[in-house]
Amino acid sequence: MERKNAWKSYSAKDEKAIEALAADYIDFISDCKTERECAARAIELARAAGYISLDEARKAGKTLKEGDRVYDDIFGKAVILVQIGKQPMEAGFNILGAHIDSPRLDVKQNPLYEDTDFALLDTHYYGGIKKYQWVTIPLALHGVVVRTNGKVININIGEDAGDPVFCITDLLPHLGTEQMQKKATTVVEGEALDLLIGSRPLVIGEAAAKKAKEGTPEAIAAKEPVRAAILKIMKDKYGFDEEDFLSAELEVVPAGRARSCGLDGSMVLGYGHDDRVCAYTSLMAQLEAGKLNRTGVCVLVDKEEIGSVGATGMDSLFFENTMAEIMALAGEGSDLALRRALANSHMLSSDVSAAYDPTYASAYEPKNAAYFGRGLVFNKFTGSRGKSGSNDANAEYVAKVRDIMEKGNVAYQTAELGKVDLGGGGTIAYIPAKYGMNVIDSGVAVLSMHSPWEVASKADIYEAKKGYAAFLKFA
């Protein structure tokens, strides 16, 4: 049952559409490298497409009807978009779900220190990473600093041409004999992932030092002049003090834009394909949907990389509560109607799949691997070893999804995540499945998953959007 390479069937019109979608997607993942940035952009695009916030609809006493478009968010990190369909909501929703967080490094709450005339920030890695991949590459700082007066300072340093970038150092090979004997898991340890951010001391005169108030950069300069210089830049240029690190969310991400990859330009190299490639294509399918028979929902959540926990993860009540509010505004506001709607729903839990890599062929089972250019990937189950932690979609639903993809003329393939005794991975699928709804994993095949720079096929990105659009229309 080998699937054909989708590139072989494309017309000139298709190839033009592929390049247009890829260009927009490259802009999205280049500009949106945190869950906050992704959520903000999704809301911006939703409002441009005629969506209003749930809060606006509620305050206006709006009665939702077919064709109405509403969104909600929580803490600016997770977003739900809903387009009301023709059928009563109790008949169920067609749901596209993806996550907008990606593996990265988070700055600790007490991070800044000086050592031998270097200023560094202490970090804590987020999600599953190979730590050695994060050394000696250009890095950027994205996030927010929130002061006690409630002021939110947005931070984005390292992306503009005139910005400085940051890095994590590594040991030169001439002195690395002992290091090179370590396992890959410990060749760079978590506590060694400290971000180098400065080396120039703050130089002040003796008289100025005596007059300096305790705790100011000028007072600190006597003992830690480089740290003092960084504190002064923070205060003068960005408007926050060292204490404000306590209420900051600063994420260390690869610096620079995503790019077309390959001499043929057939791929995209970028940070955060996992899982923004599925989030973006789901979002676009939702925003561009025409009239829908069943209510269409796009759920973009946070925290998947660390277990879907917290208020902004899929395991919270945000999804359920939002749908209850929307059903109430549509005149279907009973608990029983909500339970029936959730149980009658169909969902694509969209997350990336591991693309077959010939360089590491021994990790894959070729008949059941995902391949570049062969379209949207469906994983009947994920989990690990004996399907532990898996959703495992039922055969009837898989058949229904196959029919939908054929109606939408979508190139698709099926896969597992590596060999049985090697593979493993989870998605958000098992969480909404608890409502009794049909859920299957789908997504785009990615090379170098969870690395700072991942690779995806433009053809697969295109087929993913087509697949998600078909699901909203036909499921």
Q: Report pLDDT digits (tens) over 360-379.
A: 999 888 999 999 999 999 98
CA 345 to chain centre: 24
Mean pLDDT of the chain: 94
One-letter amino acid for residue 79 of the chain: V
With left for phi above 0 and alpha for psi between -120 and 50, is residue 73 left, alpha or beta? beta
Q: Is 101's pLDDT higher than 80?
A: yes
Burial of 127 (0-12, 13-18, 19+ CB in 10 A): middle
Q: How confident is the model at residue 426 (pLDDT cuts 50, 70, 90)?
A: confident
Q: Is 419's pLDDT higher than 90?
A: no
Q: Cβ distance 385 to 421 under 8 Å?
A: yes
Looking at residue 399, what DSSP letter applies? H
The Cα–Cα gap between 78 and 42 comes to 10
Which structural domains are found in the chain, ordered by start? 6-102+271-474 (3.40.630.10), 104-254 (2.30.250.10)
Averaged pLDDT for residues 326-337: 95
Q: Is 383's pLDDT higher than 90?
A: no
Task: Tell me the whole-structure pTM to 2 decimals.
Answer: 0.95
Q: Is 211's pLDDT higher than 80?
A: no
Q: Is 93's pLDDT higher than 90?
A: yes
In 71-177, where does DSSP find H-type helix? Answer: none
Please, which residues have CB within 8 angstroms of residue 145's CB and are 6 or more apart in sequence?
Answer: 152, 153, 155, 238, 240, 244, 245, 247, 248, 250
User: For residue 58, what are its two tokens?
Assistant: 């509620």
Q: Is 393's pLDDT higher than 90?
A: no
Q: Is 436's pLDDT higher than 80?
A: yes
Backbone angles phi, psi at 337, to 5 degrees: -65, -40
Specify the pairing of strand 118-126 against strand 195-198.
antiparallel
The H or E element that residue 65 is part of is none
Averaged pLDDT for residues 177-190: 94
Averaged pLDDT for residues 160-173: 95
Q: Cβ distance 90 to 341 under 8 Å?
A: yes
Please, which residues have CB within 8 angstroms of residue 445's CB and are 6 or more apart in sequence?
Answer: 352, 353, 354, 355, 356, 370, 371, 372, 374, 377, 415, 456, 457, 460
Residues paired with residue 299 on neighbouring β-strands, in sequence order: 80, 97
Q: Is 195's pLDDT higher than 90?
A: yes
Backbone angles phi, psi at 325, to 5 degrees: -65, -45
Specify the pairing of strand 445-447 against strand 353-354.
parallel
Dump pLDDT digits (tens) for 33-76.
999 999 999 999 999 999 999 999 999 999 999 999 999 999 99
Q: Is 90's pLDDT higher than 80?
A: yes
Dump pLDDT digits (tens) for 217-240.
888 888 899 999 999 999 999 999
Share of the chain above pLDDT 90, in %: 86
One-letter amino acid for residue 13 of the chain: K
Averaged pLDDT for residues 387-410: 90
Q: Is 338's pLDDT higher than 80?
A: yes
Residue from 382, 348, 355 nearest 464 by CA: 348
Evaluate the CA torsion angle 276, 430, 46, 157 in order and state its sign: negative
Please, which residues have CB within 8 angstroms of residue 237's CB and are 6 or more apart in sequence?
Answer: none
